[in-house]
Amino acid sequence: MQSPTRKFWHSNSLKTGLMLVFIGSLIAGVLAGELTLIRIESATL
Amino acid sequence: MDIKESKKTYATLRRTRSPIVAFFGLILPNSYYPVVASKEIYDGPLKQTCFPGLNCHACPTALSACPIGILQHFSAIGKFPFALVGFLGAIGIVFGRSVCGWLCPFGWIQDQTYKIKSRKFRIHPGLKYGKYVSLFVLAILLPYFVEAHWFSRICPWGTLSAGIPWVIWNPLNPADSMPVIEPDMIGWLYVLKISIMIAFLVLFVFTSRPFCRTLCPLGAIYAHFNRFSFMRLEVEGQCVDCNLCVDVCPTQIRISDDPNSPDCIRCLNCTVCKNVHVRWGAPHEYSVNEHTPNTAKS
């Protein structure tokens, strides 16, 4: 039998929640114009 | 899928991993060939995106940005990289550390170099913490406080794919007709980065994936996603302690002890054991592996 803590770390709810947080962060960064900053840095030798 | 069929799939995956990494990790992200005529690195829309593996964006043929280069840039300008964290996190939560095994061009170089016949050595387990020092000190704190990209300055993959090609080629910049690399740019720092690169290249022959295990900040970021990513490894059935998994593992993990170890690069070499399987999503309540060593021997 799994402990509740172990069950939590392996649960699909946690994985899905984190996935949504990361996708939200990605969208927030794109909307904040971070892609331009990435381009300026990566296109400079 | 029955066991026989899944074993066949794993065998195909193991066989095709090297060409997959070579094409999707090394050739495709570094295919800006017009640089030969333009003599300038690519600055088109793809440079707004990050490659998920370690791939220097200063490489003459690079098409996208390096995540660690971008992390250092955001540290240096004092901004939190929401897009980068979201991008790496989303990949990590689905695939764990698979990028290290299936997309990283520098990992591929290490795998190929390790095939050279020689006496092989193991890395001291304590050295694996070096990658966290590399992440927090070289890629975050130093850029934040001194505004210099210290990891990029010593990155052996950056030296190999960008530092050396630019110095050897050194074309005239079309904008000002001056050499791209001026003589005063090659000083003690260049000697240091070349020395680090040579040291690692030599080390690659004698030990497996030393850079990934001891210094790679991107590996440090992906590592702990193995614990709760959708993609998991499971060891089903009883481990007979044959050590087959340790022998084939590039990071020398005993997969039966910890199938979701942060050091596992998900290369799937250990699926050569009939008990090791890839599983997706949360484990079934009763299917989480609890290592049950064969006590009959002891």
CA distance B51 to B69: 11
Q: Residue B110 region, left (φ>0) first, then alpha (ψ -120 to 50), else beta?
A: alpha
pLDDT at position B298 is 33
How large is the average pLDDT for residues B209-225?
Answer: 96
pLDDT at position B288 is 45
Enumerate residues 6+ apart whose C-beta is below 8 A from B167: B181, B186, B190
Residue B108 has pLDDT above 90, yes or no: yes
Residue A33, domain extent: 13-42
N-terminal to C-terminal alpha carbon distance within chain B: 36
Tokens representing residue B127 in the block: 């050295």
Are the Cβ atoms of B47 and A42 closer than 8 angstroms? yes
Q: Residue B273 region, left (φ>0) first, then alpha (ψ -120 to 50), else beta?
A: beta
- A3 in a domain, yes or no? no
pLDDT at position A45 is 74
Residue A11 has pLDDT above 90, yes or no: no
- B58 touches A at CB < 8 Å: yes
Helix A12-31 and helix B82-95, axial crossing angle in degrees, nearest 10 = 150
Q: Which residues of chain B are within 8 Å of residue A7 when distances are taken between CB atoms?
A: 285
Q: Which residues of chain A are within 8 Å of residue B87 when distances are taken between CB atoms?
A: 22, 26
Secondary structure of residue B277 in the 3-state scheme: strand
* Nearest in space to B180 (alpha carbons), one of B165, B166, B159: B166
* Nearest in space to B164 (alpha carbons), one of B47, B60, B33, B38: B60
- B93 touches A at CB < 8 Å: yes
pLDDT at position B171 is 92
| B284 confidence band (pLDDT: 50, 70, 90) | low
- A33 in a domain, yes or no? yes
pLDDT at position B127 is 95
pLDDT at position A1 is 59
- A4 in a domain, yes or no? no
A3 CA to chain B: closest CA distance, Å? Answer: 10
Q: For residue B146, list its beta bridge partners.
A: none
How large is the average pLDDT for residues A5-25?
Answer: 89
Q: Burial level of B16, CB count in 10 A (0-12/13-18/19+)?
A: exposed
CA distance B91 to B79: 22
Question: How many domains would you assign to chain A?
Answer: 1
| B293 confidence band (pLDDT: 50, 70, 90) | very low
- A6 in a domain, yes or no? no
In this structure, which amino acid lies at residue B43? D
- B83 touches A at CB < 8 Å: yes
| B51 confidence band (pLDDT: 50, 70, 90) | very high
B90 CA to chain A: closest CA distance, Å? Answer: 5
Are the Cβ atoms of A19 and B93 closer than 8 angstroms? yes
B229-262 pLDDT, tens digit per residue, is: 999 999 988 888 899 999 999 999 999 999 999 9
Cα→Cα distances B166→A36, B16, B170, B275, Å: 25, 32, 5, 48
pLDDT at position B270 is 95
Q: To the nearest 10°, report the CA torsion of B169, B170, B172, B173.
A: 110
